[in-house]
Chain A
Amino acid sequence: MNEFCLEISSANKSFPGVKALDQATFQLRKASIHALLGENGAGKSTLIKIITGVHKQDSGKLIINGKEETLNNPNDATKFGISVVHQERNLIRRFSVGENLMLNNMPKTALGLIDYNEIAIQSKKWLKILDLDIDPNTLVSDLTVAKMQLCEIAKALSLKAKILLLDEPTSSLSPQESKILFSLLKKIVREEGVSIVFVSHKLEEVFNICDDVTVLRDGQNACTSEDIKNLDRQKLVRLMIGRDEQIVKSTRKNQNTKDTILALKNVKTELGHKNINLELNRSEIIGLYGLVGAGRTELMKCLIGQDKITDGEVIINGKKVTINSPKSALEKFKIGYISEDRKKEGLILIHNVLDNTSITVWSQIKKAIGFVSDGMISKKVDPYISQLEVKTPSNYQLISNLSGGNQQKISVAKWLAAGTDILIIDEPTVGIDIKTKAYLHELIIKLADDGTSIILISSDMPEMISLADKIIVMNNFQMNGIVENNHDYDSVSSKIMEYIHT
């Protein structure tokens, strides 16, 4: 009688100081792909965590296959054939890929002991499905972020669930990888009748694969199970953010300064980079493009002194310099680095918003005997926090309680506060909603216009082409070429791809 395999009606969920879900309703049709959309902090992940038994709703019903159920822990959800890829990476870093894939369901020998051969064989199968060429015995900690994400997806698939929840599965995937994933998803929906909930901030993907759409805004439904055919991009955006999308047009003012602020000449690093040459002018945005694993992040870490540059010259403002730590990069040369891995390297999760945002400015604002008070800090960083529209009940909220997107805003805000001359921005909009993404793009342009020189690392080609002045293409720890960016997507992107494959 019921076409829904999963329903949530009028669910409420509060966290200290936050109402994450407010009478939220959600219905998943059998054998469909359902997009769950909303701004950062709208409550998407919370909804997913309720469906998977991680959180329990304060009120409201959870109906699975027509029956009201209570889930007390993730295992209960597994029993109902629900499997999930959470927004956060949940692999055991010191275990092998294979063992991670099979962790809930380990093959055993006759003696009841774990059969590692069997693990390798079975997991290999699931890795293959995603076109992943990883040895199942590789340690997860040796994988790149993208590969980890793919492994998690493989793991969720391996449970052969009837309901598959994917919370931003593509946030750190390249277009090619996403494409493989999507055709796979379509296939299991079609052939095995699996129902999928898909969370993403990339609207193209949503239009590409989804059948229905539910949009949350501040924990409430902005729309419920709308057929995607009735929507277009503009409508969807309006549902999500309550107004029209602003198209960022790169209207750079003074990008023609020829005032070289940073130059790398024939740089070699201990991580294996060779022949790196780069010139960054004042107010210029240089893009570093490359497939995941090209060594862009690593190059920048060498530049700021985290790892060593072994040969070649680093010239800042015409002077040859040696940067031996991020501290001197920041304090002496005013270079900042916004990390791509916000949880591990960007933020201090157990500290609050205020402390995280101000970490780079304490030295600047201190008075006699190092005096720094919360008031002084607030005065300094509040403008940035409100400018980025960070969604938090107060400055004293712990970072770990913010939604992913808002966490990313904080890791940007702290570098804005630091007021650097050169800012290295690594994958700034991963997991960021379109509103904030647009805002971040404007911000990057404005920063450059105001005199900051920017090195932008992004695997998001449209982003790269709309922002960068010139794009350096990297592959395999070397520079393959430089593309002058005329902001014409087709021609520039084909040039970039050409360089990647040389």
Chain B
Amino acid sequence: MAALFKKDWFGLLIVVIVSGLAIAVLKPAFLSPFNLYVLMVSISYMLIIALAQMIIIAIGQMNLSVGAIGGLVAISFSGLMEVQQVSVPVAVLIGLIIGMLCGFLNGYITVRSGISAFIITLATLYIFKGINLGITEAEPFYNIPETVKNFGNAKIGNTPIPFLIIIPIIITFLMWIFMNRTETGRHMLAYGNSVQSAELIGISSSKVVITAHVISGFLAAIAGMLVVCRLQLGTPNIGDSWLLPSFAAPVIGGAILAGGKVDVIATSLGVLIVAIISQALVIFKIDPFFVQIFLGVMILLAVFVNRYREYKQEARRKIFSSE
């Protein structure tokens, strides 16, 4: 228990459990299979989007172009299938390659120029979104193959678990391994902690930065394609609304924007909290004119609860250190 208490994600877990229970008691429909299904669907791509941002936060940078990459991949993916009649696996592959290329571009230019990733990805945000609009002229692609549509809709057996969430779960697991158990992952965190120290230690900036951005692009690509599966159409707007949520989840999960401190589990719980809050707003039929206010207050509350735990922990450490 004490070990649990020390974990970054413990407070968030409490928030999730308590709010989940509270909502379930007030509105039993919250735990209905269909609602759980819906919750999992919305978590599925948000989780990947959050991880795509998290890995960049880990190295102390920001990726403003996650949404633009996701959008570009989404329309390439659906466009290839509709216009070029490319088969699904090939389209997926090309989509992933595009995502990684975009990420590589971000990372490469950032490292080579020494300009802050914030500016570089802001510029590439325009570029990727520009290509997206240039290709589509703002018109969606509608002819998504049935297999893709079915994937977006199917549940596993008789459970309320959507097929869609399998990939995010695998990816979250892999990301956890990557950030905690691989040398490259640890080097990324070290780099995020202190660029100067990392360089003196002999960690290669270009390797760390480019890898992180490529992974970020890769994840954004997956998210983009998952959204296509889910929406069953490839609209150029995919990704437009990703930016803030992509930051919100890791930051609610205690990530430090300056870098070096991120946690995969806490980020996942951050995603879950945001999803639960926005679902609660619907379930409780909050008047549309109040929705924004509630949303803001809930986010603050969630963060405060987590913060309170840190507070307690700090107080304990102060007393410990005197003994």
Q: B-contacting residues of A (Cβ < 8 Å)? A: 52, 54, 73-75, 77-78, 86, 88-95, 99, 103-104, 106, 108, 112-114, 270-273, 295, 477
* Other contacts beyond A75-B202, A103-B186, A271-B318: 6, CB < 8 A: A54-B200, A90-B194, A92-B197, A93-B194, A114-B186, A272-B322
Number of A-B residue pairs with CB-CB distance less than 8 Å in the complex they form: 74
A interface, by DSSP: helix, strand, loop or mixed? Answer: loop
Q: How far is the CA of A103 from the CA of B197 in the complex (A)?
A: 12
Interchain residue pairs with CB less than 8 A apart (9): A73-B199, A74-B201, A75-B202, A86-B200, A90-B197, A95-B186, A103-B186, A113-B181, A295-B322
Residues on B with beta carbons closer than 8 Å to the beta carbon of A104: 201-202
Query: Is B35 located at the chain interface by the 8 A CB criterion?
Result: no
* A123 nearest CB across to chain B (Å): 14
Does B71 sit at the interface, judged by CB under 8 A? no
Which of the residues B186, B193, B202 comes within 8 Å of A106, measured between beta carbons?
Answer: B186
A114 to B187, CA, bound (A): 12
Known: A99-B186, A271-B322. A74 touches B194 (CB 8 A): no
Interface size class of B (residues with CB under 8 A): 20 to 34
Distance from B58 Cβ to chain A, minimum over Cβ atoms (Å): 11
Cα distance, A273 to B189, chains bound together (Å)? 36
- List A contacts of B181 (CB < 8 A): 113-114
Pair B204/A73 contact, Cβ less than 8 Å: yes
CB A496 to nearest CB in B, in angstroms, measures 23
The A-contacting residues of B in range 165-200, CB under 8 angstroms, are 177, 180-183, 186-187, 189-190, 193-194, 196-200
Closest to B177 in A: A113
Residues of chain A contacted by B2 (CB below 8 angstroms): none
Is B261's CB within 8 Å of the partner chain A?
Answer: yes
B315 — nearest CB in chain A belongs to which residue?
A270
Interface residues of B (CB under 8 A from A): 177, 180-183, 186-187, 189-190, 193-194, 196-204, 260-261, 318-319, 321-323
Cβ contacts under 8 Å, A73 to chain B: 199, 202, 204
Given A90-B197, A103-B201, A272-B319, A95:B190 Cβ within 8 A = yes
A112 surroundings in chain B (CB, below 8 A): 182
CB distance from B262 to the nearest CB of A (A): 10
Contacts of A52 in B (CB 8 A): 200
Asked if B322 and A54 sit within 8 Å, CB to CB, the answer is no
How far does the alpha carbon of A75 sit from the alpha carbon of B206 in the complex, in Å? 13
Q: Is the CB of A92 within 8 A of B182?
A: no
Q: Is the CB of A75 within 8 A of B204?
A: yes
B186 touches A113 (CB 8 A): no
Name B197's contact: one of A91, A108, A113, A273 (CB within 8 Å).
A91
Report chain B residues within 8 Å CB of A77.
202
Nearest opposing residue in chain B for A90, CB measure:
B197
Chain B interface main SS type: helix
In the bound complex, residues from chain A placing their C-beta under 8 Å from that of B182 are 112-114
Contact check, B186 vs A477: say whether CB atoms are below 8 A apart.
no
Distance A75 CA – B322 CA, assembled complex (angstroms): 41
Shortest CB distance A348–B (Å): 16
Q: What is the bound-complex CA distance between A124 and B180, given in angstroms?
A: 21
CB contact under 8 A between A95 and B202, given known A106-B186, A272-B319: no
A54 B199 Cβ-Cβ under 8 A:
yes
List the B side residues contacting A477 at CB < 8 Å: 322
Contact between chains at B193 and A93 (CB < 8 Å) = yes
Chain A residues with CB under 8 Å of B319's CB are 272
Determine whether the beta carbon of A94 is less than 8 Å from that of B189: yes
A271-B321 in contact given A94-B261, A106-B183 (Cβ < 8 Å): yes
Return the contact of B190 from the options A92, A272, A273, A295 (Cβ within 8 A).
A92
Pick the residue among A78, A88, A94, A108 that contacts B202 (CB under 8 A).
A78
Chain A residues in 8 Å Cβ range of B198: 92
Residues of chain B within 8 A (CB-CB) of A273 are: 322
- Answer whether A272 and B189 are a contact pair too, CB < 8 Å, given A74-B201, A103-B201: no
Find out whether the CB atom of B202 lies under 8 angstroms from the CB atom of A74. yes
Q: Given A73-B202, A74-B202, do A92 and B189 touch, yes or no (CB 8 Å)?
A: yes
Bound: A104/B182 CA distance, A = 12
Residues of A within 8 A of B197 (CB): 88-92
Residue of A nearest to B205 (CB): A73
Q: Which 10 A-B pairs have the closest CB atoms?
A: A272-B322, A74-B202, A90-B197, A113-B181, A75-B202, A92-B190, A92-B193, A90-B200, A114-B181, A106-B183
